[in-house]
Amino acid sequence: MAFLNGLFTLLSVIFFICLIVALIKPSIFKIKTRLKAFLIFFTAMIVSSLIVNATMSDEERARIEQQQQTAKVEREAEPSSGQPVQEDAPIAEDKKSVEPTPKVEEQEVVESVQSLTQPQSNAVRSANQYLNISGFSRNGLIDQLSSSAGDGYDKADATAAVDSLNVDWNEQAARTAIQYLEMSGFSCNGLIDQLSSSAGDKYTRSQASHGAKQAGACS
């Protein structure tokens, strides 16, 4: 059992690495879309994790439970740090003053979604799924949604769906840049070129520069 536990623990790590690589460049595994790559390797990782849990020895389970119990006790003991309660009052007031803004933004998003056609609404769902997995530029996301090798939406529907989203493309460029740097080394200019290339991620040059700087590739 110990051998199987170690084996599937190693497989879980391998599947996780493959998942990250596939999200950046699914073509390495001959998979057409990032979503399919995510589903394949995420499922494999979950199955391996379940087998690791099933083959874990009773001693190991007892040790982990003891560590969790100790951590829980330590967390419960943290509030008694002796700081005055009155200091939390200004923070609570600040939170109250900020609360109305998200409600307005949420209302605007709902109104925007309601004005879309059914195919466009479906494209919005697909776009959000992609953005939850990885960083995308505006043009890159539209191409992914409308590509025959991707989701196959009409180009106009894909464009309307992406433009209805409230997305910070500079932030997306930074996410993509960080993903690249986690997998390989890039110079500042090399990373900017990769992010802004029409054959790459299709960010604007400004967005690519921002992403590379935020990721730490540029001094």
Domain closes at, from 16, 33, 58? 58
Of 13, 43, 58, the domain-final residue = 58
Instruction: Give me the half-sphere count of Cα atoms (radius 13 Å) on the Cβ side of residue 111.
Output: 6
Report yes or no on 100 lying in a domain: no
Per-residue pLDDT tens for 51-63? 767 776 667 667 7
181-205 pLDDT tens trace? 998 889 999 999 999 998 889 999 9
Amino acid at 45: M
Q: Is residue 83 a part of any domain in this protein?
A: no
pLDDT in tens, 104-146: 455 455 555 568 899 999 999 999 999 999 999 999 999 999 9
- Residue 170 within any structural domain of the chain: yes
User: What's the whole-model pTM score?
Assistant: 0.50
Query: Can you tell me the mean pLDDT for 89-117?
Result: 55
Domain count across the chain: 2
Helix (H) or strand (E) holding 42: helix 34-54
How high is the pLDDT of residue 107? 47
129 occurs within a structural domain: yes
Domain boundary among 58, 78, 98: 58
∠ CA 192-195-199, nearest 5°, is 125
